[in-house]
Chains A and B, each alone.
Chain A
Amino acid sequence: MVSTMTAEVVYIVQEFQWEYNDEWFDLEGDTPIRAFVDRDMAEAYQQRREAEARASFAQSGPRRANFPSFFGGFPRMSTLSEAAFQGRLQALGLPLPPEMPDGDDIAMDLSDDWWEAVWAAVTPDLEEAFWGLFDRLRFYEIVAVEVQG
Protein backbone atom coordinates (compact mmCIF):
# COMPACT_ATOMS: atom_id res chain seq x y z
CA MET A 1 0.00 0.00 0.00
CA VAL A 2 1.31 3.40 -0.86
CA SER A 3 1.35 5.76 2.07
CA THR A 4 -0.51 9.00 1.55
CA MET A 5 1.26 10.65 4.46
CA THR A 6 3.69 13.35 3.45
CA ALA A 7 6.66 14.18 5.60
CA GLU A 8 6.40 17.38 7.59
CA VAL A 9 8.82 20.04 6.46
CA VAL A 10 10.39 22.54 8.84
CA TYR A 11 12.12 25.75 7.87
CA ILE A 12 15.24 26.29 9.90
CA VAL A 13 16.73 29.73 10.24
CA GLN A 14 20.49 29.59 10.54
CA GLU A 15 22.76 32.39 11.64
CA PHE A 16 26.12 32.76 9.94
CA GLN A 17 29.24 33.56 11.90
CA TRP A 18 31.60 35.99 10.25
CA GLU A 19 34.93 36.16 11.96
CA TYR A 20 37.74 38.59 11.44
CA ASN A 21 40.98 36.84 10.57
CA ASP A 22 43.18 39.91 11.00
CA GLU A 23 42.75 40.71 7.32
CA TRP A 24 39.06 40.34 6.56
CA PHE A 25 35.87 38.69 7.74
CA ASP A 26 35.49 35.03 6.80
CA LEU A 27 32.38 32.94 6.96
CA GLU A 28 33.38 30.53 9.68
CA GLY A 29 30.23 28.82 10.77
CA ASP A 30 26.50 28.52 10.92
CA THR A 31 24.20 27.99 13.87
CA PRO A 32 20.56 26.89 13.63
CA ILE A 33 18.54 29.22 15.83
CA ARG A 34 14.85 28.60 15.18
CA ALA A 35 12.60 26.27 13.28
CA PHE A 36 9.19 27.09 11.83
CA VAL A 37 6.38 25.01 10.45
CA ASP A 38 5.35 27.89 8.25
CA ARG A 39 7.70 29.13 5.52
CA ASP A 40 6.25 32.65 5.57
CA MET A 41 6.95 32.93 9.28
CA ALA A 42 10.49 31.70 8.76
CA GLU A 43 11.03 34.24 6.00
CA ALA A 44 9.60 37.08 8.05
CA TYR A 45 11.87 36.15 10.95
CA GLN A 46 14.91 35.75 8.73
CA GLN A 47 14.31 39.08 7.03
CA ARG A 48 13.88 40.87 10.33
CA ARG A 49 17.08 39.39 11.72
CA GLU A 50 18.92 40.11 8.47
CA ALA A 51 17.86 43.75 8.60
CA GLU A 52 18.90 44.00 12.25
CA ALA A 53 22.26 42.42 11.48
CA ARG A 54 22.86 44.77 8.56
CA ALA A 55 21.96 47.77 10.66
CA SER A 56 24.19 46.62 13.47
CA PHE A 57 26.99 45.84 11.05
CA ALA A 58 26.58 49.24 9.44
CA GLN A 59 26.64 50.99 12.80
CA SER A 60 29.63 49.05 13.99
CA GLY A 61 31.84 50.68 11.44
CA PRO A 62 32.35 49.24 8.02
CA ARG A 63 29.32 50.72 6.31
CA ARG A 64 31.05 53.93 5.41
CA ALA A 65 34.51 52.47 5.65
CA ASN A 66 34.56 50.50 2.42
CA PHE A 67 33.25 47.21 3.63
CA PRO A 68 34.42 45.26 0.58
CA SER A 69 37.84 45.70 2.07
CA PHE A 70 36.52 44.09 5.27
CA PHE A 71 35.48 41.02 3.33
CA GLY A 72 38.62 40.43 1.35
CA GLY A 73 37.39 41.89 -1.92
CA PHE A 74 34.39 41.88 -4.17
CA PRO A 75 34.33 38.18 -5.19
CA ARG A 76 33.96 37.14 -1.57
CA MET A 77 30.85 39.26 -1.32
CA SER A 78 29.10 38.68 -4.61
CA THR A 79 28.54 36.14 -7.33
CA LEU A 80 28.05 38.92 -9.88
CA SER A 81 30.56 39.42 -12.65
CA GLU A 82 32.15 42.81 -12.91
CA ALA A 83 29.97 43.66 -15.92
CA ALA A 84 26.79 42.50 -14.19
CA PHE A 85 27.71 44.45 -11.06
CA GLN A 86 28.26 47.61 -13.06
CA GLY A 87 25.00 47.04 -14.96
CA ARG A 88 23.06 46.66 -11.72
CA LEU A 89 24.65 49.79 -10.27
CA GLN A 90 23.74 51.70 -13.41
CA ALA A 91 20.15 50.46 -13.25
CA LEU A 92 19.93 51.70 -9.65
CA GLY A 93 21.34 55.07 -10.70
CA LEU A 94 24.36 54.64 -8.46
CA PRO A 95 27.90 55.80 -9.24
CA LEU A 96 30.10 53.29 -11.01
CA PRO A 97 33.46 52.33 -9.57
CA PRO A 98 36.38 54.13 -11.21
CA GLU A 99 37.96 52.40 -14.16
CA MET A 100 40.77 50.16 -13.13
CA PRO A 101 44.16 50.35 -14.81
CA ASP A 102 44.67 47.86 -17.63
CA GLY A 103 44.86 44.33 -16.38
CA ASP A 104 43.18 45.13 -13.09
CA ASP A 105 39.56 44.72 -12.28
CA ILE A 106 37.37 45.25 -9.31
CA ALA A 107 38.33 41.85 -7.94
CA MET A 108 40.21 43.12 -4.97
CA ASP A 109 39.54 46.81 -4.72
CA LEU A 110 36.56 49.02 -4.60
CA SER A 111 38.08 52.33 -3.72
CA ASP A 112 37.28 54.19 -0.54
CA ASP A 113 36.25 57.24 -2.57
CA TRP A 114 33.79 55.24 -4.63
CA TRP A 115 32.42 53.52 -1.56
CA GLU A 116 31.88 56.88 0.10
CA ALA A 117 30.16 58.23 -2.99
CA VAL A 118 27.94 55.25 -3.52
CA TRP A 119 26.73 55.13 0.07
CA ALA A 120 25.95 58.81 -0.10
CA ALA A 121 23.71 58.00 -3.07
CA VAL A 122 22.03 54.97 -1.49
CA THR A 123 18.73 56.30 -0.27
CA PRO A 124 16.73 54.19 2.19
CA ASP A 125 14.55 52.84 -0.62
CA LEU A 126 17.67 51.63 -2.45
CA GLU A 127 19.34 49.99 0.52
CA GLU A 128 17.71 46.61 0.03
CA ALA A 129 18.66 46.53 -3.65
CA PHE A 130 22.17 47.70 -2.89
CA TRP A 131 22.74 44.97 -0.29
CA GLY A 132 21.30 42.58 -2.88
CA LEU A 133 24.35 43.18 -5.05
CA PHE A 134 26.42 41.47 -2.40
CA ASP A 135 24.60 38.18 -2.39
CA ARG A 136 27.35 36.30 -0.57
CA LEU A 137 27.21 38.69 2.32
CA ARG A 138 24.39 37.20 4.35
CA PHE A 139 23.85 36.89 8.06
CA TYR A 140 20.97 34.41 7.99
CA GLU A 141 19.61 31.70 5.74
CA ILE A 142 16.62 29.37 5.65
CA VAL A 143 17.05 25.64 5.20
CA ALA A 144 14.05 23.41 4.53
CA VAL A 145 14.31 19.97 6.13
CA GLU A 146 11.89 17.05 6.50
CA VAL A 147 11.15 16.06 10.08
CA GLN A 148 11.84 12.46 11.02
CA GLY A 149 11.37 10.29 14.04
Chain B
Amino acid sequence: MKTRTLYLVRPRTPYRILWDADPVYRIRGETIRAFRNRDAAERYAAEAPPPAEVNLIKLNVSFCATPYGETLRAYPDEDAASAADDGPLLTIPVAFFVDWVREIIGIEPPQIAPRSEGMNNREREQELRAAWIEWWDAIQDSLTPAQKRELWAALTLPAYEIVEVPWYRQ
Protein backbone atom coordinates (compact mmCIF):
# COMPACT_ATOMS: atom_id res chain seq x y z
CA MET B 1 0.00 0.00 0.00
CA LYS B 2 1.29 3.45 -0.88
CA THR B 3 1.68 6.00 1.83
CA ARG B 4 2.35 9.70 1.69
CA THR B 5 2.42 12.32 4.37
CA LEU B 6 -0.65 14.41 4.99
CA TYR B 7 -0.32 17.72 6.79
CA LEU B 8 -3.14 18.54 9.14
CA VAL B 9 -3.73 22.00 10.47
CA ARG B 10 -5.85 22.10 13.54
CA PRO B 11 -6.69 24.70 16.09
CA ARG B 12 -4.75 24.57 19.29
CA THR B 13 -6.52 24.31 22.57
CA PRO B 14 -8.66 26.17 23.53
CA TYR B 15 -10.16 26.55 20.08
CA ARG B 16 -10.26 22.82 19.61
CA ILE B 17 -11.82 21.58 22.80
CA LEU B 18 -15.01 23.18 23.90
CA TRP B 19 -17.41 22.43 26.63
CA ASP B 20 -20.49 21.00 25.07
CA ALA B 21 -23.02 19.49 27.39
CA ASP B 22 -21.62 19.68 30.84
CA PRO B 23 -19.74 17.68 31.94
CA VAL B 24 -18.42 16.13 28.76
CA TYR B 25 -15.87 17.58 26.40
CA ARG B 26 -16.64 17.61 22.74
CA ILE B 27 -13.63 17.29 20.51
CA ARG B 28 -13.91 19.48 17.50
CA GLY B 29 -12.51 17.14 14.90
CA GLU B 30 -14.38 18.93 12.15
CA THR B 31 -12.10 21.92 12.47
CA ILE B 32 -9.14 20.04 10.99
CA ARG B 33 -7.85 21.07 7.56
CA ALA B 34 -5.77 18.71 5.47
CA PHE B 35 -3.03 19.66 2.99
CA ARG B 36 -0.93 17.68 0.55
CA ASN B 37 2.15 19.77 1.14
CA ARG B 38 3.71 21.35 4.15
CA ASP B 39 4.14 24.79 2.62
CA ALA B 40 0.44 25.14 2.01
CA ALA B 41 -0.28 23.94 5.53
CA GLU B 42 2.16 26.41 7.02
CA ARG B 43 0.74 29.22 4.95
CA TYR B 44 -2.77 28.45 6.11
CA ALA B 45 -1.69 28.14 9.74
CA ALA B 46 0.07 31.48 9.57
CA GLU B 47 -2.60 33.40 7.70
CA ALA B 48 -5.97 32.01 8.72
CA PRO B 49 -7.82 33.91 11.38
CA PRO B 50 -8.38 32.02 14.59
CA PRO B 51 -11.63 30.04 14.71
CA ALA B 52 -14.64 32.10 15.62
CA GLU B 53 -15.50 30.17 18.72
CA VAL B 54 -13.38 30.31 21.79
CA ASN B 55 -15.33 29.00 24.69
CA LEU B 56 -12.72 27.75 27.00
CA ILE B 57 -10.11 30.10 28.26
CA LYS B 58 -8.90 29.56 31.72
CA LEU B 59 -6.56 31.98 33.26
CA ASN B 60 -4.25 30.78 35.90
CA VAL B 61 -1.79 33.12 37.39
CA SER B 62 1.44 32.62 39.17
CA PHE B 63 3.44 35.34 40.68
CA CYS B 64 7.02 35.98 41.46
CA ALA B 65 8.83 38.80 43.07
CA THR B 66 12.01 39.70 41.29
CA PRO B 67 14.63 42.31 41.96
CA TYR B 68 12.84 44.33 39.29
CA GLY B 69 9.47 44.18 40.93
CA GLU B 70 6.45 41.93 40.98
CA THR B 71 5.69 39.94 37.86
CA LEU B 72 2.72 37.92 36.85
CA ARG B 73 2.64 34.82 34.72
CA ALA B 74 -0.52 33.88 32.90
CA TYR B 75 -1.19 30.37 31.64
CA PRO B 76 -4.11 29.08 29.60
CA ASP B 77 -5.13 26.66 32.31
CA GLU B 78 -4.01 25.00 35.47
CA ASP B 79 -2.36 22.07 33.74
CA ALA B 80 -0.20 24.36 31.70
CA ALA B 81 0.61 26.33 34.80
CA SER B 82 1.74 23.24 36.68
CA ALA B 83 3.57 21.65 33.81
CA ALA B 84 4.66 24.93 32.27
CA ASP B 85 5.04 22.88 29.12
CA ASP B 86 3.96 25.70 26.87
CA GLY B 87 5.87 28.15 28.95
CA PRO B 88 4.20 31.06 30.63
CA LEU B 89 2.13 33.02 28.22
CA LEU B 90 3.15 36.23 29.75
CA THR B 91 5.85 37.07 32.17
CA ILE B 92 5.54 40.73 32.59
CA PRO B 93 5.33 43.27 35.30
CA VAL B 94 1.89 43.45 36.78
CA ALA B 95 1.54 47.06 35.85
CA PHE B 96 2.06 46.24 32.16
CA PHE B 97 -0.50 43.48 32.25
CA VAL B 98 -3.00 45.81 33.80
CA ASP B 99 -2.49 48.32 31.00
CA TRP B 100 -2.61 45.62 28.40
CA VAL B 101 -5.92 44.22 29.62
CA ARG B 102 -7.38 47.69 29.63
CA GLU B 103 -6.07 48.52 26.17
CA ILE B 104 -6.64 45.25 24.34
CA ILE B 105 -10.00 44.19 25.61
CA GLY B 106 -11.22 47.45 26.96
CA ILE B 107 -12.15 46.09 30.33
CA GLU B 108 -11.00 47.42 33.61
CA PRO B 109 -8.57 45.06 35.30
CA PRO B 110 -9.02 44.11 38.90
CA GLN B 111 -8.17 46.76 41.38
CA ILE B 112 -5.20 45.46 43.26
CA ALA B 113 -3.88 47.34 46.18
CA PRO B 114 -0.16 47.86 46.56
CA ARG B 115 1.57 45.32 48.71
CA SER B 116 0.92 46.04 52.34
CA GLU B 117 3.80 46.64 54.60
CA GLY B 118 5.03 43.45 56.15
CA MET B 119 3.30 41.19 53.60
CA ASN B 120 5.58 38.39 52.51
CA ASN B 121 5.88 37.02 48.96
CA ARG B 122 3.63 34.06 49.59
CA GLU B 123 0.86 36.21 51.00
CA ARG B 124 1.22 38.63 48.12
CA GLU B 125 1.04 35.81 45.57
CA GLN B 126 -2.15 34.53 47.14
CA GLU B 127 -3.64 37.98 47.12
CA LEU B 128 -2.79 38.57 43.47
CA ARG B 129 -3.92 35.17 42.31
CA ALA B 130 -7.22 35.48 44.08
CA ALA B 131 -7.85 38.93 42.66
CA TRP B 132 -7.00 38.04 39.08
CA ILE B 133 -8.83 34.74 39.01
CA GLU B 134 -11.93 36.21 40.58
CA TRP B 135 -11.83 39.01 38.02
CA TRP B 136 -11.32 36.58 35.16
CA ASP B 137 -14.16 34.30 36.23
CA ALA B 138 -16.43 37.29 36.50
CA ILE B 139 -15.69 38.81 33.09
CA GLN B 140 -15.20 35.71 30.96
CA ASP B 141 -18.87 35.17 30.21
CA SER B 142 -19.31 38.74 29.17
CA LEU B 143 -16.48 38.73 26.65
CA THR B 144 -17.55 38.63 23.03
CA PRO B 145 -16.08 35.97 20.73
CA ALA B 146 -14.02 38.70 19.09
CA GLN B 147 -12.59 39.82 22.41
CA LYS B 148 -11.77 36.24 23.34
CA ARG B 149 -10.03 35.72 20.03
CA GLU B 150 -8.09 38.89 20.40
CA LEU B 151 -7.15 38.11 23.93
CA TRP B 152 -6.02 34.60 23.09
CA ALA B 153 -4.11 35.75 20.05
CA ALA B 154 -2.31 38.30 22.16
CA LEU B 155 -1.66 35.85 24.94
CA THR B 156 -0.34 32.85 23.22
CA LEU B 157 1.38 31.05 20.43
CA PRO B 158 -0.28 30.70 17.03
CA ALA B 159 -3.90 29.59 16.92
CA TYR B 160 -3.05 26.56 14.76
CA GLU B 161 -0.66 23.67 14.89
CA ILE B 162 0.48 21.32 12.14
CA VAL B 163 0.35 17.56 12.64
CA GLU B 164 1.83 15.12 10.13
CA VAL B 165 0.15 11.77 9.66
CA PRO B 166 0.80 8.88 7.29
CA TRP B 167 -1.74 8.96 4.49
CA TYR B 168 -2.68 5.52 3.27
CA ARG B 169 -3.62 5.36 -0.38
CA GLN B 170 -4.58 2.34 -2.37
Contacts and interface: CB of A to CB of B under 8 A. Distances in A.
Interface string B23-50: 1110101101111110111001000000
Interface of B: 6, 8, 10, 13, 16-17, 23-25, 27, 29-30, 32-37, 39-41, 44, 163, 165-170
A119 interface: no
Given A27-B24, A149-B41, A37 B35 contact: no
A143 B168 contact: no
B25 A10 contact: no
A136 B30 CA distance: 17
Contacts, number: 85
A31 interface: yes
Given A10-B6, A145-B33, A37 B27 contact: no
A113 interface: no
A64 to B, nearest CB: 24
Q: Which of B23, B27, B41: most chain A Cβ within 10 A?
A: B27
B104 to A, nearest CB: 28
Which residue among A30, A76, A149 has the maximum number of chain B CB atoms within 10 Å of its CB?
A149
B164 to A, nearest CB: 9
A143 to B, nearest CB: 4
Interface in A73-102: 75-76
